[in-house]
Amino acid sequence: MTKKRLVITGGSGRLGRFVVDRLKEKYTVTVIDRIAPAAADVAYLDVDICDLKAMTEALTGADYVIHLAAVPNPRTASEEACFEVNTKGTWTLLQAAETVGVKRAVIAGSDAATGLHYNPVGWPPQYLPVDENHPMRPSEVYSLTKEITHAIGKSFSVRGKLEVLSICPAHIVFEPEYPELGARGADVHNYHLWSYVAPQDVAQGFELALEVADGSFDSFYIAAADGLNVRPTLEMLKERFGEVPEVRDASVYENHPTASVFDINRAREKLGYAPKYTWRDFPQPV
């Protein structure tokens, strides 16, 4: 059987290379990025995702798209570049994909869209565990772009031509960060609320969203089952915020005291997501 054609934007990035490696045997993969991918055995197009004409040409013939290209945090580029690439780039990609008849796009959101990451005063989690219905209140540009990305994806989906699903990873930890994870887990003010995920598990989430039968718009938190926190999650939240936010499902933290602040049940139930990695197994400094 002929392989389906899959375009992966941002496939040369830190997460992108894991997604490419996971899917390149199953699909005919083309990477769109400004930088050539590490994998020499996939096609590559140097295209700016904000260029509609070039993107329409680049996506012609594609069956599926995974959209990872972005400025992935508010510190490595100007706020203007972050806003432009993440919002205009996502709109442009989806517009081009719809025009050329791509069946499904899976886009990268982020749990940062909740606004919880940089912990503005007065905005602790509104309840626990934090699921996809939790209110969003982003207060810096990257998190804001991820709320907008969500809205853009949903609007294309309701137009009815292009299926769009959104995978919202927690902070992705890559190997160079392993030695720091214990200290981050001991820090009561860890700015990701100790949530994290391995890139291999995020790649699993993208594959599942690409292939799930139900293509109606939805977003899914993809995190590890545990947090980086070295002590029970509720204990550390109390130290940080002075009180424990409302716990809607007490069994989560009773059964698993260091369970993540973010809830991955929707991904488990609808996609069949099952995280395979915990930082507690990663090699740590002696």
Ligand X SMILES: NC(=O)c1ccc[n+]([C@@H]2O[C@H](COP(=O)([O-])OP(=O)(O)OC[C@H]3O[C@@H](n4cnc5c(N)ncnc54)[C@H](O)[C@@H]3O)[C@@H](O)[C@H]2O)c1
User: By the criterion CB under 6 A, which residues form the site for ligand X?
Assistant: 10, 12-16, 33-35, 48-50, 68-70, 72, 85, 89, 108, 110, 169, 171-172
Nearer to ligand X among residue 35 and residue 274 (C-beta): 35
Report in angstroms how near the CB of residue 149 gets to ligand X at its nearest: 8
Nearer to ligand X by Cβ, of 153 and 234: the residue is 153
> Rounded CA gap, 53 and 92, in Å?
9
Torsion angles phi and psi, residue 84, rounded to 5: -65, -55
Q: Which is nearer to ligand X, 108 or 261 (CB)?
A: 108
Closer to ligand X by Cβ: residue 83 or 253: 83
Least Cβ distance, residue 129 to ligand X (angstroms): 17
Q: Least distance from C-beta 11 to ligand X, angstroms?
A: 7
What are the two backbone dihedrals, phi and then psi, of residue 216, each rounded to the nearest 5 degrees? -75, 155
CB 100 within 8 A of CB 62: yes
Minimum distance between the CB of residue 34 and ligand X, rounded to whole angstroms?
4
Sheet holding 219-222, edge to edge: 43-46, 28-33, 5-9, 64-67, 104-108, 163-169, 219-222
150 within 8 A of 207, measured Cβ to Cβ: no
Closest to ligand X by CB, 234 vs 261, is: 261
What's the CA gap between 212 and 103, in Å, rounded?
A: 13
For residue 257, the 8-state DSSP code is T
28 strand-pairing partners? 5
Minimum Å gap between C-beta 224 and ligand X is 12
CB 14, min distance to ligand X, A: 4
Cis peptide before 129 (omega within 30 of 0): yes
Residue with tokens 């912990």: 119
User: Helices in the chain by DSSP H: which ranges?
Assistant: 16-23, 52-59, 79-83, 89-100, 141-159, 181-186, 199-211, 233-241, 250-255, 265-266
What's the rounded Cα separation, in Å, for the pair 219 and 277?
21
Output Rg (C-alpha) for the chain, integer angstroms.
19
- Residue of minimal Cβ distance to ligand X: 13
State the minimum distance, in angstroms, from the CB of residue 32 to ligand X.
6
- Report the residue number, 157 or 195, with the smaller CB distance to ligand X: 195
Decide whether 72 or 125 has the Cβ nearer to ligand X: 72
